[in-house]
């Protein structure tokens, strides 16, 4: 997607503030992550887009992102969990469910991290 508006329009996405450190290296949620995007300025503020189904729930001990499950809803084929982590409410779609209040880990593959230029807002 070209920007956060388009990403949100085409489907549910987690859109997080980030900073590009170099080609294929972005920082968000207090950690640096490998990604596949290039062509951004060094230390450019960006929007990081991660689809809910691309977040893997893992043990918090081995996870780069950790948070607390706030709510869980069964959607027929998957569970939708809202997780409070690093100042954001993350949406996760998973066939695995965790109880509200559970401390979980989250992991994302580099190919599932999408970088966009920040939208300029006037006024």
> Per residue in 44-89, pLDDT tens?
999 999 999 999 999 999 899 999 999 999 999 999 999 999 999 9
pTM of the model: 0.88
10/54 Cα distance (integer angstroms): 16
Higher pLDDT, 10 or 78: 78
* Position 4 pLDDT exceeds 80: no
Residues written for the chain: 123
26/33 Cα distance (integer angstroms): 5
> Per residue in 101-123, pLDDT tens?
999 999 999 999 999 998 765 55
Count Cβ atoms below 10 Å from residue 96 Cβ, excluding itself: 11
């Amino acid at each position: 997607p070209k920007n956060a508006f388009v990403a949100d329009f085409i489907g549910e996405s987690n859109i997080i503030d980030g900073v590009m450190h170099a080609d294929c290296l972005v920082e968000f949620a207090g950690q640096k992550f490998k990604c596949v995007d290039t062509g951004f300025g060094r230390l450019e503020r960006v929007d990081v887009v991660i689809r809910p189904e691309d977040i893997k729930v893992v043990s918090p001990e081995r996870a780069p992102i950790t948070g607390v499950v706030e709510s869980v809803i069964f959607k027929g084929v998957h569970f939708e969990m809202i997780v409070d982590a690093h100042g954001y409410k993350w949406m996760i779609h998973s066939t695995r469910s965790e109880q509200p209040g559970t401390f979980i880990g989250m992991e994302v593959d580099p190919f599932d991290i999408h970088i966009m230029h920040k939208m300029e807002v006037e006024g």
